[in-house]
Structure 1
Amino acid sequence: MFASGDETDNASLFNVCNGLRSTRFRFAVRPNGLGIHFGELRREHETEFVMAWRRFASVNSAKVIGHTANVVMDNAKRNEKMVVIFGYSTEYGVLNAVQEFNFGTRQWRLVKTRGYPVTGSYGHSSSWDPLSRKIYVVGGYLSAEPAGHQLTNTLYSYDPASRTWRLLNPAPLALSQHSATFLSGGLMMVFGGRGAASHQCYLAEVLSYDVACDKWGYLPILRKPFQTDLARFGHSAVTSRGLLYIYGGFDGQMKADILKFTPGRCENVTTLGECLNSRLGVKCVWTTEQTCSTITDMPGDPTASAHGGNYLGEDHTVITPHELSIPTPTARSPYQPCNSLRCPGSAVVGLTTGYPNIRESSGPLNPSHEQLCSELQDCHSCTQTSYKCTWCGDKCTLGFCEGSNKANEANDHCEGKSTIKCSKWSNCKSCLAQEHCVWDQYGCQDIADGFKKETQACPAACSEHSTCTECTLEECMWCESKKRCVESIAEQLIFPYGECPIWTTDTSRCPRQNQEWCKVHLTCSNCTSDPACGWCDDSSGTGMGACLSGGYSLKTAANRGRCSNKRWSFTHCKICQCNGHSRCIEDTDTCEQCDHMTQGVHCEACAPGFYGNALNGGHCRPCDCATDGAGCHPLTGQCFCATKGVIGEQCDQCDTDNSFLNGTSTCYYDLQVNAPFVFNSSEGDEGQYERFSQINFVSTPMTDDLPMTFTITSTNNVKVNLTFKSVRVGKEFKIESFYVYLFDVSHPVDLEVSFMQHLQL
């Protein structure tokens, strides 16, 4: 458990340290290359040190933020290397790449990995386990859809020796910007972070992951006095001499405290059941001497050391070493073979053990493997997990396939290469870098079989735009307070602590050149919702006014003299808000009568037949449409054409590209004989059905010696007018064309119209 006060031998403790005495440091930066060098710390005077940094060349390395880094031993070359996992690139978006930096050769390498086809993330954690000699990656933000992101609870293991990924049991919480550390081999501790739900902004949970058992659990936590102090995200975590230290973080304000976690001692646990179910912050095992001990070695594992990697923010990169020494393996294991690594919930020497009821959980700690297997959609994903899944031709299942005792249990038996689905790539450049993907208006798509990939050009990256208009036209996010354009998917990474209070993705909200930002707000409610702005009412009693930069007491120097305190609103608006087009009924917020061709509860829109922006005294103008017009868009004035096939901003053209012909006063669809016209109502850009109420057809018979059959089928009642045009040939009249007019068409509707002529036998 976590507690304060005197330390005991069998309890886990959290202590808080504040008021640390600062020591003076002097730093020397040498601009010769790119990278980090862990230089010597040399004492010059009693209270003054010199710490030297060197930059290494960054050839072949990707520029990333939100990544993690771990230092591991490269056994083949007998030197250390830094493994950089995932991260976000302003050029390529969220990456699933693994990079290695060799400290011996000082060279970068983008490595090719095998195993489970992982999805990249940022804001995750990664931590090296010296016992299993793998890196464990948990949580973070995934790219979900184009311009979207999703918090995940996914857990992967990565073997840096074989460069192989594996999918493990997911964490009970989706989280990011947390920390993950191994106080001792075999048990990972995950602390704090940012959750998915609105009430999980700052997590105080301490999770544990048992590597050998592939099981998650909660460590007990004392509710007082630490509940307020513990919750945080964006902190750093390091281990030293078997203790865990948490520094800083954010819980609505920046923190500068240090938390120290002292794990319990396995040696003080006396029974087998308690030993295997212990939650002390370290992995306990039962020995052949019938004692409980902290796991330190697995038979056959070599001596190892490790450095931990934590969440790295945009503006700083820190890799803090913490040594963990593992004894050289002995010929005879000290652990009892049958029971030492038994997992909670399994039978042990006639004793059934299970997880103690530590705390309530909204969901299962360890979901059903049957459910987890069923969610995997391809062979490579199915066969690279810890769930014991098998691939049965077209689906993933737990155990054997139906009617067979054989299945693909290994990745080597899967057909084709392991590839990530194109839909996982949210960025044009990262999409086109994949051989099997193309980019279109819907995002990254798989290339259909038989099609050849063509050269495509990607739009400029969001980070390359320098104005609000350029930024929002490319579906990026503009931060006005920082004058910066970013991908929406990276918002939580680049502005994790609310550094961007003023932002937009809407071009119409961009200020004009040299225009003050607050001026884009045309109503009091929108203005006061912006923390940098306030509303200056014009005292007309109609709700008109101006949005100005300022605070609660209008202290902004530029606004002194522009508005009196009596007319200033920063958090609340005056009761009457009719946009300058009406006054309100006395002592109410109800507009008396909307004038100036406006309508709406607050006279905020133009009346039918008019267009414009009615907000804050704006003008409404009459629609300028031809006779085929059926009103216009209330904001842009673009006409809605009443007859299908009539197009143009003023409904004065025929859609010749789609077989509509120019007539004397309208447009006709050229209906070929024996080729029915079929139409289904569809929703337009605004979620409304096409507005036409009439459609005209013209059809010319193939021959004049065969009868014509006219057929119309409609799911709604429509009115029909059928006429024809004839010419005189000798003493007879010959029908040259048939004209069909359908009107009073209502939507949604399915229509089929045809003229048929068939040869008679």
Structure 2
Amino acid sequence: MFSAHSGRCPLPFQWTSSIITFLLIPLLVFANQASFDLEKSLSTSCDRHCYNGVCLNGSCVCSKGWVGSQCDHCYGRIKLTENQSQLIDGPLDYSSSSKCTWVIENEKKSGAPLNIKLENFQTECGWDFVYIYDGDGVYGEQLAAFCGEQEVQELSAPSGKALIYFFSDLAMNLNGFNISYEFNKCPYNCNSHGVCENSKCKCMHGFTGAYCEMRICTEEDEGKPGPCLHGGVCKSSRCSCTASYHGDTCQSPKARSVWDRVPTNNTLAGRASHTSVIIDDAIWSVGGEHFSGVHFEDPVVYNITSRTWTPIAVEGKLKPPARFDHTLVRYKTKLFMFGGVIDRRNITSALWSFDLHSREWKKEGGDNTDLMVPPLSVAGHTAHVIGSEMYIFFGYHPEIGFVHNVQIYNFETGRWRFGNTKDQVYGRFRHSSVHYKMDSGDAILVYGGTMWSNSQNNLTDSLMKYDIKHEKWTNLPPSGVQLFLHTATVLNGLMIVVGGNGYNISESRTKQECFSAMVQAYDIACKQWFNISTGASQLRRYGHTAVATSNELYILGGFNGRMLNDVWRFTPAECSSATRPEDCRSLADGVKCVFANHACVKFDPFVSYKQSFLSFVKNESPKSMSECRNTALRQALQVCDEQNDCMSCISEPGCGWCPSGDQCLPNDGECVDGQVMLTTWEKCSLTRDPPPPRPCGMANDCRSCKLLAHCNWYTVEGKPTCIPLEDEILLRKEQLDRELDRVASSSLPLRLPTTPPPIPPGQNLSYCPLPCSSLHTCTQCLQEQKCMWCPSTNRCINMEAYALSFAYGQCHSWVAGHAHGFAFSKSCRIESSNCSAHKTCAECQLSPECGWLDDGSHTGLGNCTQGSAQGPLNPSKNFRPEQWYFIDCPACQCNGHSMCNETRHTLGGIQEVCGECQDNTMGKHCELCAPGYFGDPRNGDHCKPCQCNGQADTCDNFTGACHCRTKGVTGNECDRCEQKYYGQPRNGTPCYYELSVDFIFTFKLKNEDKDKHATEIYLFSIPHKVIMFLMSIAWAVIHLIASVVLYE
């Protein structure tokens, strides 16, 4: 069966001596069409319960703000006006990609205090957040960004209004939350120790705190117990305890440590990822992340003696940009601030100094873009001053990821240098580090953090020591608790670790690990970990700071769903509370004691108590069973630690040698960051060979790989990886040999490579893909495989750094997925924080910062703009309240291509629907282009005719990509021929496929998506002999497969 189409038919056959035979075979494709009965079931019962809707004809019809087959998942906006009520994400686990907004407002209770209570709460830590704002929009003060598992707690919205927004990602679906609210109530009812006035608790005499939760000594309590326990009495407005107890209210025996929340004149905004240093009795805090809508004072000073905060008035005009995840150290009369995240977007390498006398800032060094020399831009690093130098440990760089270098700055010369680059360690991010002195010199202990290993981000519980003098890394016993955003300080010979975040998406975690209240201690001399009892659930937090005095530890701020501004003081147990040697040795609650001269006293590492202990101190390895807890691990560490070379180490049973760091460890342990441990003497080198270069596998991106001169970034089996140059040569040779063998064994031509062209070796970083941080639009960001876009911060970041970069809920939603064209442009538009990018009211209201301003034409036209329930953020002079839609949307929403008509709803109500769509549009809301047209007709835009060069009848009604009807014709405008096809489709002629004589051809028209609209194919053949020949065609169409057999 042959057919011809006018305008697309080839020239007639001509049988001459130079015959070219064209064979036209239009294939008529028949598709099975299924007809469906569009009538719904007449049954009024539903198989499953409709939680937030009604059952209609066997299906759940959801109320506003709810979706799902059972109306069991929140989505959209709901307004709550009752005096008291509750809001939930749904009766079951919440769904992926939730976007739910509740506005709590009662016009009759205008100005009345609004109390919000978390009844129960469980979402994915660091990814799924519930945001609470004071007021009817996101432009008021942000009160919270809750995630993880939260305890029952209450908070107040002073304006008497609140907006609550919930966002979940694609990964985990947990129990969700139940939040209640009530007007005319302050949190916790002021603990029955105050009255609620103007949304705040006015405390009774003798009580203080935001909720009157703290009992304090007053003048009337002088000489009386007041709040003091265990026989203590009030003296000078504080408790004076008996000899056996301590704490602000004498609540704890001195044989145990005690935590006290210190009353302050707390008017400061909460902060996290700030920095603190102690100078005399003052704690200086600089920078930090904070919630929007708050008055943030920076820097501020906390006085330990007076228990007061004081903002510092900065002199001069020069001030550094606001930042967090930076470091702050003191050298002589100046504070030095380095690195961090500025403008909530960029990571800097700038160094600033603050003169403590003149109170002026000075920029000591600008940003460095050269990755070969320091200083590298880092955030989440740590810093210490040793002598006249500042040591910067690790951190995250936006282009090369986790920095493994130690960067060193000399205050006197103003010069930077890298420390030891030979030891093979991974970089860390948001770890902790402490400086301590030993007889052999200064050392730094680095604990925890997150790092890149085994091709993924991993939290770590590792503890490493950096020897300043020899610039060597060695491994110490791990804690068994993986943490980042914690703190560590040295007190009484112990490294004390407080709080942190232990959530790891790749592992099952316990409920407490998102916000840890754990307090751990590491005995530096004995190399032993143990826990310190706390009992203070209010310590659950991360992103706080910690500083130590001679005998106390202070915790400031942090984040637990709220930005905290509190101060906690840790007082260790007192050695004098023990009178017997065995009790003295067992005291370990924040202190290390020794029984000497018939008394239990605090251990001083620089005092000689007896010979065995002196030996213990000098060698930094326990020799006396009486001073350290005797465990199998301690004994093994002691034996191995005494060996100073590979041969002697291997000779000891149970020991292994770590070449990187020159360290002898128990062979069931690990070398620094999992490097190879030598356990047989044959592997020990007789001569001291130079250390091997850094393994290529420790680099996880192109730039960090290219910085290693012996490595290159190469695609192996479709996956880019960092490999040695020798391996790359072998892989290229193997690939070429396989292709040559294939060509030699067949008549097929040499194939073009399907992998990206290899990157030339060398340290030219321009060959690497652009780093995510350099991409400033959503569409640019999504074109790179490892990048994610955060609309609320307009920031493109590497996927490995998402949860690390937005630990405080700064990103209200995100877009990811390597895509091209329409797919990612649509995602970028829907998730955009730029309100004007949204073209419909429904899409507009998915962004909590936006509302819809209708133009009053009853056609659905309008604008999406910033605003709250009250109205636009910046209303025009002609604004009318009836134009503003923040909770609901105008009827119909016909996108300017029709008018609303009234029709009767099946339940008897009146429903307005769009009339006949005009302007070549179609759809319930005239939101689509009609067949033969394309574009985005929403909100008054136009549809254009398909441009297909006569090769298609239809095109994609959004992108305009033509549905080419002829196999072999391709291109968005059907303007090109596929490989092995010939023709000029731009001229309206088809593309032809050449048939070779004596071959069997099979064409599967519907086998690929690109051919799903193909209904015909054009073939031609050039005979080998100029003679008359008989051409016979046997062909059949079975399930859209065409077979053509041609013979001479």
Please confirm whether the aligned pair reaches a TM-score higher than 0.5, indicating the same fold: yes
Match of 2:332 in 1: 39
Pairwise CA distance, 1:631: 5.5
Pairwise CA distance, 1:534: 1.1
For residues 158-237 of structure 1, what are the structure 2 equivalents within 5 Å? Answer: 158-166=466-474, 174-193=482-501, 195-196=503-504, 202-209=515-522, 218-223=531-536, 227-228=537-538, 230-237=539-546
Question: Counterpart of 1:648 in structure 2: which amino acid?
Answer: G
For residues 533-682 of structure 1, what are the structure 2 equivalents within 5 Å? Answer: 533-537=850-854, 545-554=862-871, 556-559=873-876, 561-564=878-881, 566-571=882-887, 573=889, 585=905, 596=917, 611-613=934-936, 615-616=938-939, 623-625=946-948, 629=952, 632-641=955-964, 645-656=968-979, 659-662=980-983, 665-668=990-993
Q: Distance in 1 between matches of 2:581 and 2:311?
A: 51
Match of 2:260 in 1: 15
Q: Does residue 518 in structure 1 map to residue 835 in structure 2? A: yes
Q: Structure 1: 5+ residue runs without aligned partners? A: 42-47, 74-78, 298-325, 349-378, 699-722
TM-score (norm 2): 0.48
Q: Structure 2: 5+ residue runs without aligned partners? A: 1-244, 266-306, 321-327, 335-355, 506-510, 617-622, 636-657, 733-759, 817-823
Q: 1:340 aligns with which of 627, 645, 661?
A: 627
Question: Counterpart of 2:555 in structure 1: which amino acid?
Answer: I
Pairwise CA distance, 1:509: 7.3
Q: Deviations over 1:451-490 (max 9, x none)?
A: 6616552566666666777667678677777777666666
Q: Distance in 1 between matches of 2:858 and 2:612?
A: 90
Match of 2:704 in 1: 430
Contact 1:472/1:507, CA 8 A, preserved across alignment = no
Question: Counterpart of 1:95 in structure 2: which amino acid?
Answer: V
SS at match of 1:557: coil
Go from structure 1 to structure 2 and tell me whether the alpha carbon gap of 1:347 and 1:114 turns closer, same or farther (over 3 Å shift): closer
Match of 1:388 in 2: 667
Q: Deviations over 1:569-590 (max 9, x none)?
A: 3355579778678889567999
Question: Counterpart of 1:531 in structure 2: which amino acid?
Answer: P
Match of 1:110 in 2: 418
Contact 2:894/2:914, CA 8 A, preserved across alignment = no
SS at match of 1:234: coil
Pairwise CA distance, 1:219: 3.3
Q: Distance in 2 between matches of 1:682 and 1:112?
A: 59
Question: Counterpart of 1:654 in structure 2: which amino acid?
Answer: C
Q: Distance in 2 between matches of 1:676 and 1:412?
A: 69
Contact 1:36/1:55, CA 8 A, preserved across alignment = no
Contact 1:3/1:222, CA 8 A, preserved across alignment = no
Q: Distance in 2 between matches of 1:22 and 1:642?
A: 75
Go from structure 1 to structure 2 and tell me whether the alpha carbon gap of 1:109 and 1:264 turns closer, same or farther (over 3 Å shift): same
**How many aligned positions are there?**
635
Pairwise CA distance, 1:239: 0.7
Go from structure 1 to structure 2 and tell me whether the alpha carbon gap of 1:420 and 1:264 turns closer, same or farther (over 3 Å shift): farther
Q: Does residue 733 in structure 1 map to residue 1046 in structure 2? A: no
Go from structure 1 to structure 2 and tell me whether the alpha carbon gap of 1:39 and 1:399 turns closer, same or farther (over 3 Å shift): closer
Pairwise CA distance, 1:71: 3.1
Go from structure 1 to structure 2 and tell me whether the alpha carbon gap of 1:208 and 1:521 turns closer, same or farther (over 3 Å shift): farther
Q: Distance in 2 between matches of 1:81 and 1:562?
A: 61
Q: Deviations over 1:359-391 (max 9, x none)?
A: xxxxxxxxxxxxxxxxxxxx9899989673599
Question: Counterpart of 1:647 in structure 2: which amino acid?
Answer: T
Q: Distance in 1 between matches of 2:397 and 2:548?
A: 30
Provide the alpha-carbon RMSD of the alignment: 6.0
Q: Does residue 259 in structure 1 map to residue 568 in structure 2? A: yes
Pairwise CA distance, 1:130: 3.8
TM-score (norm 1): 0.63
SS at match of 2:844: helix
Q: Deviations over 1:163-184 (max 9, x none)?
A: 3334566655554332111213
Question: Counterpart of 2:700 in structure 1: which amino acid?
Answer: W
User: Identity of counterpart residues, as a percentage?
Assistant: 27
Match of 2:427 in 1: 120
Go from structure 1 to structure 2 and tell me whether the alpha carbon gap of 1:593 and 1:625 turns closer, same or farther (over 3 Å shift): farther
Pairwise CA distance, 1:261: 0.6
Contact 1:694/1:742, CA 8 A, preserved across alignment = no
Q: Distance in 2 between matches of 1:669 and 1:184?
A: 87
Contact 1:387/1:398, CA 8 A, preserved across alignment = no
Question: Counterpart of 2:839 in structure 1: which amino acid?
Answer: L
Pairwise CA distance, 1:233: 3.0
Pairwise CA distance, 1:660: 3.4
Contact 1:477/1:486, CA 8 A, preserved across alignment = yes
SS at match of 2:568: strand
For residues 167-566 of structure 1, what are the structure 2 equivalents within 5 Å? Answer: 174-193=482-501, 195-196=503-504, 202-209=515-522, 218-223=531-536, 227-228=537-538, 230-265=539-574, 268=577, 280-282=589-591, 296-297=604-605, 326-327=606-607, 331-333=611-613, 337-338=624-625, 340-342=627-629, 388-389=667-668, 417-421=692-696, 424-426=699-701, 428-435=702-709, 436-438=711-713, 445-446=722-723, 448-450=727-729, 453=761, 455=764, 457=766, 458=768, 497=808, 517-537=834-854, 545-554=862-871, 556-559=873-876, 561-564=878-881, 566=882
Pairwise CA distance, 1:652: 3.9
Moved more, 270-279 or 446-455: 270-279
Q: Distance in 2 between matches of 1:463 and 1:533?
A: 27
For residues 78-97 of structure 1, what are the structure 2 equivalents within 5 Å? Answer: 79-90=387-398, 92-97=400-405
Question: Counterpart of 2:249 in structure 1: which amino acid?
Answer: G
Q: Distance in 2 between matches of 1:629 and 1:165?
A: 68
Question: Counterpart of 1:38 in structure 2: which amino acid?
Answer: Y
Match of 2:294 in 1: none
For residues 683-722 of structure 1, what are the structure 2 equivalents within 5 Å? Answer: 691=1012
Q: Distance in 2 between matches of 1:640 and 1:276?
A: 83
Moved more, 269-278 or 118-127: 269-278
Pairwise CA distance, 1:521: 1.6
SS at match of 1:176: coil
Q: Deviations over 1:583-624 (max 9, x none)?
A: 895679999799758788987666777643355566556654
Q: Deviations over 1:430-469 (max 9, x none)?
A: 3422221227896654354316616552566666666777
Pairwise CA distance, 1:95: 2.0
SS at match of 2:417: strand
Pairwise CA distance, 1:654: 1.6
Contact 1:681/1:690, CA 8 A, preserved across alignment = yes
Q: Distance in 2 between matches of 1:677 and 1:383?
A: 67
Go from structure 1 to structure 2 and tell me whether the alpha carbon gap of 1:97 and 1:2 turns closer, same or farther (over 3 Å shift): farther
Contact 1:181/1:239, CA 8 A, preserved across alignment = yes
